[in-house]
Amino acid sequence: MLGGQCGDAARLAMSILVRMAEVYEAPELMDVTQAHIDGCALMCDSGLEFAENLVALGARVSIPTTLNMIPLDLQNWGRLGIPEEFANKAIRIARAYTDMGCIPTWTCAPYQGYLTPRFGQQIAWGESNAIVYANSVLGARTNRYGDYMDICAAITGRVPKSGLHLKENRKGQSLLRLVDIQPQLLRDDTLYVALGHFIGGLFQEGIPVIEGLPTSATNDQLKALGAAAASSGAVALFHAIGVTPEANTLKEAFQGEVPEPVINVCFSDLRRAWLDLSTAEEGAELDAVVLGCPHFSYAEFQQLAQIIEEQGRLPHPGVRVLVLTSQTSYALLQRGNFIDTLLSFSVEIILDTCVFHSPIISPDAKVIMTNSGKCAYYAPGELNVQVAFGSMRDCIRSAIEGAVCWGETAWKES
């Protein structure tokens, strides 16, 4: 490929991969059989130039390749007030990647849609939350690939043979024991976010093994844990004993080695993480609630509809309720029987994109609330807002009150 016999696009992609193999200190390249592209997410001139340059050179992906969100809700951007110039550029980014043969999934939760990787499958994924989910929850194998290496891997079908592609590098590197956590809290969605935020801050990297999560942990809870850990840190793989597929036992998670170090995680540790996720105070006037970071699943829509029905009140007129999701989940939602509940609560369902990549939230907004650790981590810097983190129920109650409020949560006590 470097010789150009496979075309100029493959030569460019391969030359980047070969340089990256040196960075990874990989002795050789290896095959991957699926890719997920994060390079289409950011609105920037260089990213557009890179993608259009590849298309001009005749680039085609050689393996099944899904796409992360793009900077635009392709259906609703007019209604959302996105400037036309911005939209046109976003559409060019989208088109460049579909022209290369990528599948227009446009989601940051590709593991809950089309083409979910298999256990043990060697893949090249971008998008930090998707990477940690693929490795940890699915047991597929990918390194933490950044923008533009993902498409190089998709074009060539190759990556440096290194890191998490190799079984010996997937063993646990520290044991986190959850101690003295109330069983009720172990079922609470916010526990998973606080734990993820804590883990990312504590380790930055390395492979944590969590002991003490219940087998009832849902895919959405593990999604939230991974997304938070991959924001406050660089976690690309975690194991949870009895929950994730490479950790049926402690021995399996550590590949027979003695767990070391062992760290006890107490309620007070997680409470500190919970507190750190919010920069807004209780009672702060709220501009928007943001749910769906990563993209909402059908199960999360069900949960939301149930909460809205329980509350039986409409949101405060000054508060927007935004839910970010994929076309895949939206298609299911349209077939379900509760979309009217959401629409009557003025829920704005945003497709294909996210509030960080598309200018959906007004620059005048001062305070947002979210149930996502990832959103809570990045919102102050990217959106220039104060952020409150809370459960989905607290987000909806706050939307109704028009101000940040936390209900009867265990985190507030003690």
Partner 1 sequence: MLGGDSMERILIGKPIVPGSAKGRATVSTQPISFWGGINPRTGEVIDRRHDRSGTIITGKIFVFPRGKGSSTSSAVLMESIKAGTAPAAIINTKVDPVLALGAIVADELYHKTVPVIVLSREDFDSIDEGDYLIVGPDGKVTIKSHAHFYSNPKSSDTDEQAM
The nearest distance, CB 16 to partner 1, in angstroms, is 6
Angle of helix 45-56 relative to helix 149-156, nearest 10 degrees?
Answer: 10
Part in contact with partner 1 (CB under 8 A); list of ranges 41-49, 179-187, 305-313, 330-338: 41-49
Cβ closest to partner 1, residue 175 vs residue 385: 385
Q: Which helix (H) or strand (E) holds 239?
A: strand 239-240
- List the one residue from 149, 195, 347, 395 that touches partner 1 (CB under 8 A): 149
Does 158 sit near partner 1 (CB under 8 A)? no
Q: Segment 312-341, which members bind partner 1 (CB under 8 A)?
A: none
- List the one residue from 381, 408, 413, 414 that touches partner 1 (CB under 8 A): 381
Cβ closest to partner 1, residue 175 vs residue 230: 230
Q: Segment 129-148, which members bind partner 1 (CB under 8 A)?
A: 131, 143-148
- List the one residue from 7, 8, 50, 171 that touches partner 1 (CB under 8 A): 50
Q: Point out which residues pair with 285 in neighbouring strands.
A: 403
**Interacting residues of 166 by C-beta distance below 8 A, sequence separation 6+:** none
- List the one residue from 1, 9, 12, 270 that touches partner 1 (CB under 8 A): 12
Does 38 sit near partner 1 (CB under 8 A)? yes
The nearest distance, CB 287 to partner 1, in angstroms, is 16
Part in contact with partner 1 (CB under 8 A); list of ranges 86-94, 121-129, 210-218, 313-321: 121-129
- Residue window 51-70: x/- pattern of binding to partner 1, with contact defined by CB under 8 A: --x-----------------
The nearest distance, CB 17 to partner 1, in angstroms, is 10
- List the one residue from 8, 188, 252, 276 that touches partner 1 (CB under 8 A): 276
Part in contact with partner 1 (CB under 8 A); list of ranges 12-20, 83-91, 281-289, 389-397: 12-20
Does 15 sit near partner 1 (CB under 8 A)? yes
Part in contact with partner 1 (CB under 8 A); list of ranges 214-222, 230-238, 249-257, 333-341: 230-238
Cβ closest to partner 1, residue 128 vs residue 303: 128
Does 233 sit near partner 1 (CB under 8 A)? yes
The nearest distance, CB 312 to partner 1, in angstroms, is 36
Q: How far apart are CA 143 and CA 146, in angstroms?
A: 9
- List the one residue from 76, 174, 279, 302 that touches partner 1 (CB under 8 A): 279
The residue ranges that bind partner 1 (CB under 8 A) are: 12, 15-16, 19-20, 23-24, 38-39, 41-42, 44-47, 49-50, 53, 126-128, 131, 143-150, 200, 204-205, 230-234, 276, 279, 356, 377-378, 380-382, 386
